[in-house]
């Protein structure tokens, strides 16, 4: 799919499809008003009759029958003008792109970068439009004999004027890069676990290293044992697939700049182990490596965009399987941090493997550590599927991640992490136990991770947001969301003031 920019007036461009926008409760304006005159007032009649009100999520499609330069016109509702955000643009662009594709359009022009968003220039609007378009057109059909037949071949993003056209073009390329890597993360999540094994994830990291100049180191079972990563070793015991500890280093910032360390849970399949899960929907547990996919693909994005920063990505990866050699409830493991962990529930395995990665992160003397993981069903119960849980030891760090979540549409909501919750994971036979009481499960899981951390740290629980199985959204199809890739890139730049 080809993306490009132009400063030509959208209503004058000869194209199969033209995507425009309208604010709820306002009179027609700009290209929409001009085209309405040409199209015998079809748009204004639709607004007047209430068929199309310009609300967010609404679209109006019109076949111009040769009366305009565009064969088909699509007007997307943005809602009230003062409530429009970059996420509104992403959603409108995504809905428009999917409607055009499903209608058989192969090439279209989008005017979404001409909208108004407080604090955003045409470049950011164009980037959002490119992201929404690319993400919405994602299709996972690589394992199917019958592929998606209807495809968009080219998208042209309209710039407000010739002066801003190079800026718009640059941001369109950036948006496509970010969306491409989010789509790669979706692929990794959607692939079945017999393909996307720990070794497969490690090879994807190696591929990124060769393509983009990232230093990649992979630790196998012997190195993991040598490094005394007791949490990862305990979880990996029941699987025939060898564990991997993935290290990705992008050190392109100032030499005296402490690195930001990103940690992602790479559990390629989770049966629950001896504390086995119910069989219903267990197939979705291939998505338990969504955090690992986010880190690998965020590192790809940072390198592809040549961001002048020092960033390290760590992904502990294994399966959690039942078997004769599996870790058992009541067993005690000693993590890399030296903390002893009583394993009450083998299905609370993510925190065990993350504990070693968090402890390993100390070797870099990092500016901060941020982990992302499909960690607890309790977080999904608390926040549903529209916000990830956010925990941390530093208010500024937590605030920056929250801001990045708002900017990218990958929203995070801060949760408490008071000492009382840490008291609930004290063990009678070890330093801590890997589960607390039923209530506040997302918080006690975060409290467990905190025991292995020093310095500034934040934890993002994406158990409710990483995978969609009910119905698709504006630019998010069913399956893996690819959440965290765009969030992390924005956060790194925000944190470093880039």
If you write DSSP's letter for every residue of 276-305 in order, what string do you get? PPPSTTGGGGGGGGHHHHHHHHHHHHHHHT
Give residue 400's pLDDT.
98
Quick one: which H or E segment has residue 77?
strand 70-79
Active-site annotation holder among 351, 402, 450, 456: 351
User: Residue 278 and residue 281: Cα distance in Å, rounded?
Assistant: 8
Total domains present in the chain? 2
Task: Tell me 362's DSSP state.
Answer: G
Tell me if 154 is assigned to some domain.
Answer: no
Q: How far is CA 31 from CA 35, 109, 200, 375, in A?
A: 6, 13, 49, 48
Q: What string of pLDDT tens digits covers the 498 residues of the chain? A: 999 999 999 999 999 999 999 999 999 999 999 999 999 999 999 999 999 999 999 999 999 999 999 999 999 999 999 999 999 999 999 999 999 999 999 999 999 999 999 999 999 999 999 999 999 999 999 999 988 889 999 999 999 999 999 999 999 999 999 999 999 999 999 999 999 999 999 999 999 999 999 999 999 999 999 999 999 999 999 999 999 999 999 999 999 999 999 999 999 999 999 999 999 999 999 999 999 999 999 999 999 999 999 999 999 999 999 999 999 999 999 999 999 999 999 999 999 999 999 999 999 999 999 999 999 999 999 999 999 999 999 999 999 999 999 999 999 999 999 999 999 999 999 999 999 999 999 999 999 999 999 999 999 999 999 999 999 999 999 999 999 999 999 999 999 999
Give residue 149's pLDDT.
86
Tell me if 24 is assigned to some domain.
Answer: yes
Q: Looking at the structure, tell me whether residues 209 and 118 fall in a common domain.
A: no
Torsion of CA 193, 146, 97, 135, to 10 degrees: 10
Indicate if 277 belongs to the active site: yes
Tell me if 162 is assigned to some domain.
Answer: no
Q: Looking at the structure, tell me whether residues 296 and 239 fall in a common domain.
A: yes
Q: Residue 110: helix, strand or coil by DSSP?
A: strand
Active-site annotation holder among 277, 328, 362, 473: 277
Chosen domain end from 137, 169, 197: 137
Q: Looking at the structure, tell me whether residues 192 and 82 fall in a common domain.
A: no
Indicate if 186 belongs to the active site: no
| Parent domain of 104 | 2-137
Q: Residue 146: helix, strand or coil by DSSP?
A: coil
Do 299 and 214 meet the contact criterion of CB atoms below 8 Å apart? Answer: yes
Tell me if 421 is assigned to some domain.
Answer: yes
∠ Cα 401 406 408 (to 5°): 90
All residues at 6 or more sequence positions from 40 whose CB lies less than 8 Å from its CB, including other chains: none
Give residue 148's pLDDT.
84
Tell me if 400 is assigned to some domain.
Answer: yes
Q: Looking at the structure, tell me whether residues 86 and 233 fall in a common domain.
A: no
Tell me if 148 is assigned to some domain.
Answer: no
Q: List the CATH number of the domain containing 251.
A: 3.40.630.10
pLDDT tens sequence across 184-221: 999 999 999 999 999 999 999 999 999 999 999 999 99
User: Residue 241 and residue 154: Cα distance in Å, rounded?
Assistant: 42
Q: List the CATH number of the domain containing 47.
A: 3.40.220.10
CA 387, 389, 395, 401 torsion-angle sign: negative
Torsion of CA 376, 377, 382, 384, to 10 degrees: 120
Q: Looking at the structure, tell me whether residues 334 and 212 fall in a common domain.
A: yes
Give residue 299's pLDDT.
98
Give residue 147's pLDDT.
87
In 3D space, the residue among 251, 266, 131, 253 whose CA is nearest the CA of residue 205 turns out to be 266
In 3D space, the residue among 346, 350, 400, 385 whose CA is nearest the CA of residue 467 turns out to be 385
Give residue 431's pLDDT.
98
All residues at 6 or more sequence positions from 151 whose CB lies less than 8 Å from its CB, including other chains: 1, 101, 106, 137
Chosen domain end from 137, 159, 174: 137
Q: Looking at the structure, tell me whether residues 121 and 236 fall in a common domain.
A: no
């Amino acid at each position: 799919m080809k993306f490009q920019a132009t400063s030509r007036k959208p209503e004058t461009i000869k194209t199969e499809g033209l995507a425009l926008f309208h604010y709820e409760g306002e009179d027609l304006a700009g290209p929409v008003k001009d085209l309405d005159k040409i199209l015998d007032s079809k748009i204004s009649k639709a607004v007047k009759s209430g068929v199309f009100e310009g609300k967010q999520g609404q679209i109006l499609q019109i076949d111009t029958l040769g009366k305009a330069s565009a064969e088909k016109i699509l007007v997307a509702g943005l809602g009230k003008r003062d409530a429009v955000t970059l996420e509104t643009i992403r959603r409108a662009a995504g809905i428009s792109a999917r409607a055009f594709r499903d209608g058989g359009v192969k090439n279209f022009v989008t005017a979404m970068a001409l909208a108004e968003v407080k604090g955003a220039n045409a470049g950011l609007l164009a980037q959002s439009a490119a992201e929404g378009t690319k993400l919405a057109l994602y299709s996972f059909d690589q394992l199917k004999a019958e592929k998606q037949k209807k495809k968009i071949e080219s998208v042209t993003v309209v710039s407000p004027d010739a002066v801003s056209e190079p800026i718009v073009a640059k941001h369109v390329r950036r948006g496509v890069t970010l969306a491409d890597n989010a789509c790669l993360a979706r692929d990794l999540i959607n692939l079945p676990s017999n393909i996307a094994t720990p070794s497969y994830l490690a090879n994807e990291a190696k591929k990124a290293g060769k393509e983009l100049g990232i230093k990649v180191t992979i630790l196998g079972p012997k190195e993991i044992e040598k490094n005394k990563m007791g949490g990862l070793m305990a979880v990996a015991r029941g699987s025939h697939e060898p564990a991997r500890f993935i290290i990705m280093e992008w050190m392109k910032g100032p030499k005296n700049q402490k690195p930001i360390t990103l940690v992602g849970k790479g559990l390629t399949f989770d049966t629950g182990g001896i504390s086995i899960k119910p069989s219903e929907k267990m197939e979705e547990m291939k998505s338990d490596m969504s955090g690992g996919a986010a880190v690998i693909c965020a590192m790809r994005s940072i390198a592809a965009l040549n961001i002048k920063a020092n960033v390290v990505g760590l992904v502990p990866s294994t399966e959690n399987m039942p078997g004769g050699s599996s870790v058992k409830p009541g067993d005690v493991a000693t993590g890399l941090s030296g903390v002893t962990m009583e394993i009450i529930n083998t299905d609370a395995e993510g925190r065990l493997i993350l504990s070693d990665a968090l402890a390993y992160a100390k070797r870099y003397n990092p500016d901060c550590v941020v982990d992302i993981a499909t960690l607890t069903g309790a977080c999904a119960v608390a926040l549903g599927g529209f916000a990830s849980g956010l925990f941390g030891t530093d208010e500024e760090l937590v605030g920056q991640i929250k801001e990045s979540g708002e900017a990218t549409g990958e929203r995070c909501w801060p949760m408490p992490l008071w000492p009382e919750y840490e008291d609930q994971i004290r063990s009678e036979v070890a330093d801590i136990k890997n589960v607390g009481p039923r209530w506040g499960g997302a918080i006690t899981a975060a409290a467990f991770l905190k025991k292995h951390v020093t310095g500034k740290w934040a934890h993002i629980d994406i158990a409710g947001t990483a995978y969609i199985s009910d119905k698709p959204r504006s630019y998010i199809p069913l399956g893996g969301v690819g959440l965290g890739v765009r969030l992390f890139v924005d956060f790194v730049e925000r944190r470093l003031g880039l």
